[in-house]
């Protein structure tokens, strides 16, 4: 059973900054983790074994967490 495979060039992505272009089409962990998954790419969710767990974002107030996630939003 064979399937037809079509190869097409990638569509141009309109972005307003080089940082956004790198996130959208670059070779990094941020490319595949947009939206709600961006906090995982930035390393804000996982705790390092050498960090103090009480200083982690999961122990902060909801207002602080929403501020941190808003700072990760990419403007296109």
Instruction: Give the chain's end-to-end CA distance (angstroms, integer).
Output: 42
Stretch 12-23: mean pLDDT, rounded? 75
Q: Are 3 and 15 in contact (CB under 8 A)?
A: no
Q: Break the chain down into helix, strand, coil percent, rounded to 5.
A: 40, 0, 60
The pTM score is 0.36
Tokens representing 3? 């399937």
Tokens representing 68? 């941190």
Model pLDDT, residue 65:
62
pLDDT score of 72 more than 50: yes
pLDDT score of 16 more than 60: yes
Q: What is the distance between the alpha carbons of residues 23 and 57, in angstroms, rounded to a whole number?
A: 23
Residues 32-64: tens digit of each pLDDT: 776 777 777 777 777 777 877 777 766 666 666
Mean pLDDT of all residues in the chain? 71
């Amino acid at each position: 059973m064979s399937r037809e495979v079509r190869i097409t060039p990638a569509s141009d992505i309109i972005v307003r900054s080089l940082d956004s272009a790198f996130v959208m089409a670059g070779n990094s962990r941020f490319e595949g983790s947009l939206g709600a998954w961006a906090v995982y790419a930035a390393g804000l969710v996982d705790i390092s074994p050498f960090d103090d767990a009480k200083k982690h974002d999961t122990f902060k107030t909801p207002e602080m967490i929403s501020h941190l996630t808003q700072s990760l939003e990419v403007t296109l």
